[in-house]
């Protein structure tokens, strides 16, 4: 059952559940209310769908107790392939590590009203503005020092290395948060704080410091990760202006 529905004011939903009856009931609720829905019978099928680009969901509803790929491992695989909000659905309370890895939980059986409330809350979160940041993208004093010390091409190479490294660490952070690995979140935050701070990439350095200090709060870490991704984009945009190809 792929691509049913299609009211564009609602998020696209990917439903992953090995129980045919549960899939049909949830699918009926969602499609009757205007959601575009994609379904998968298990974790491996869902991962393959995302890899093939068959759907780009804003919300994933995933049964976390299925044969094969499931639980934290499935959440990590999904996080690596989509920025969608991930909501666990299960007939029993999930373990702490899994609760920390997802964005919310619904206990089966749940009512249509409970499902609608969850999706309404997601829509409210999606409408909230991104974290604002008045911190300069690059410290102008450090940028001037680099310009005075080395050729323009060398300065560009320095910042190209910073952005490449930052993108790599953002991927690692995403995986660490999905796996509820707070120690790794703090460690990566510390590294970003130091490296970006040395290069004068102030927005990224400040967010790295926050991740280091607040890494135990995995929900907040995911918000900081979104802000860090924006900081990386800001840095790349500024470099395109400062150092045009």
Condensed to tens digits (0 to 9), the pLDDT of residues 11-43 reads 789 999 999 998 999 999 888 888 889 999 999
| Bridge partners, 45 (sequence order) | none
Residue 217: what pLDDT? 79
Residue 124: what pLDDT? 61
Which domains does the chain show, CATH number per domain?
Answer: 2-127 (3.40.50.2300), 140-242 (1.20.120.160)
What is the Cα–Cα distance from 147 to 150, expressed in whole angstroms?
6
Q: Is the confidence at residue 238, as pLDDT, over 90?
A: no
pLDDT in tens, 126-165: 554 444 456 788 888 898 898 899 998 898 899 999 999 9
What is the Cα–Cα distance from 129 to 181, expressed in whole angstroms?
27
Q: Is the confidence at residue 5, as pLDDT, over 70?
A: no
């Amino acid at each position: 059952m792929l691509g049913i529905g299609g009211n564009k004011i609602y998020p696209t939903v990917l439903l992953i559940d090995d129980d045919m009856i549960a899939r049909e009931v949830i699918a009926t609720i969602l499609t009757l209310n205007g959601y575009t829905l994609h379904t998968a019978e298990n974790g491996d099928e869902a991962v393959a769908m995302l890899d093939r680009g068959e759907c780009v969901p804003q919300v994933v509803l995933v049964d976390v107790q299925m044969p094969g790929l499931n639980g934290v491992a499935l959440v990590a695989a999904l996080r690596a392939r989509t920025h969608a909000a991930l909501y666990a659905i299960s007939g029993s309370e999930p373990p702490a590590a899994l609760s920390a890895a997802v964005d919310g939980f619904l206990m089966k059986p749940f009512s249509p009203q409970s499902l609608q409330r969850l999706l309404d809350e997601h829509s409210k979160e999606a409408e909230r503005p991104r974290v604002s940041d008045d911190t300069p993208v690059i410290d102008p004093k450090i940028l001037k020092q680099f310009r005075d010390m080395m050729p323009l091409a060398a300065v560009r190479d320095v910042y190209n290395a910073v952005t490449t490294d930052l993108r790599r660490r953002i991927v690692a952070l995403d995986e660490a948060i999905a796996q509820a690995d707070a120690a790794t979140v703090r460690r990566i935050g510390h590294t970003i704080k130091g490296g970006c701070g040395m290069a004068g990439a102030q927005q990224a350095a400040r967010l790295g410091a926050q991740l280091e200090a607040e890494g135990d709060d995995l929900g907040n870490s995911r918000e900081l990760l979104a802000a860090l991704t924006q900081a990386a984009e800001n840095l790349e945009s500024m470099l395109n202006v400062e150092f045009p190809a």
